[in-house]
Amino acid sequence: MTADETRPGDFKNVKAVDPTKIKGWGIDANPDNDPTYPMKLRTDEEQRGYSWERPEQQAADVEVLHSVERPNLTAVFGTSVPPSGLSGMLRRFAFKYSESSYGHWLPLMLADRINAVEGIIDDIGHGHVPNIFAERGYKADWKYNRTEFILKTAAAVAVSAGIVAMMMPKKKRKAWYQAFM
């Protein structure tokens, strides 16, 4: 089995572990060896509130993605931004894989970048022109890290020019190359 084929059933604890054999287990069990003693007068009152009725499950009225290691939804989850668009498709793909695999985390990171571009397009679609220079912190980069800023900007211009050149018809591309070479 590869890491990308893990399912919730794969995570069963078949070995019973004796916690007393774990280094450091029960380190705070001795009240005479309590490192918080001067700050906290131990009364064990906090132990009384450890049994409670589980609150009612939050209603899932939008699509909520959750790990394959977890068979159900957590008690509370965010619903303000359900997955949508290309980034949502990537997120759905990522949540088919275990959290221990690149098949989960790399698509999620790519989906974050794509979602940023989708947000800019959405802003423009709603008539708001975003101030990308300010929102990306370029003013601070220019002030405190000018060399890195210039290198990143030059790289972005070079990549953009390469993409534009590759999208041009061959005749225009040859004329464009000759003008700059």
Tell whether 32 is covered by a domain: yes
DSSP string of 130-162? --HHHHTTHHHHHHH-HHHHHHHHHHHHHHHHH
Rank 46-55, 87-96, 132-141, 171-180 by mean pLDDT and report only the highest. 87-96
Question: 179 and 161, same structural domain?
Answer: yes
Question: 181 and 138, same structural domain?
Answer: yes
Range of the domain at 144: 134-181
Question: 73 and 33, same structural domain?
Answer: yes
**CA distances for 5 relative to 27, 42, 101, 127, 163, angstroms:** 37, 47, 9, 44, 36
Q: Sorting pLDDT into bands at 50, 70 and 90, what band is 1?
A: very low
* Sign (positive or negative) of CA dihedral 21, 26, 30, 36: positive
Across the range 56-66, mean pLDDT stands at 86
Tell whether 49 is covered by a domain: no
Cα(44)–Cα(28) distance, rounded to whole angstroms? 13
Question: 87 and 73, same structural domain?
Answer: yes
Question: 146 and 181, same structural domain?
Answer: yes
pLDDT in tens, 118-143: 999 999 999 999 998 888 888 999 99
Q: Based on the structure, what is the number of domains in the chain? A: 2
Cα(178)–Cα(52) distance, rounded to whole angstroms? 76
Question: 3 and 72, same structural domain?
Answer: yes
Question: 120 and 160, same structural domain?
Answer: no
Question: 139 and 125, same structural domain?
Answer: no
Question: 102 and 28, same structural domain?
Answer: yes
Question: 138 and 123, same structural domain?
Answer: no
Question: 2 and 32, same structural domain?
Answer: yes
Question: 83 and 37, same structural domain?
Answer: yes
Burial of 129 (0-12, 13-18, 19+ CB in 10 A): exposed
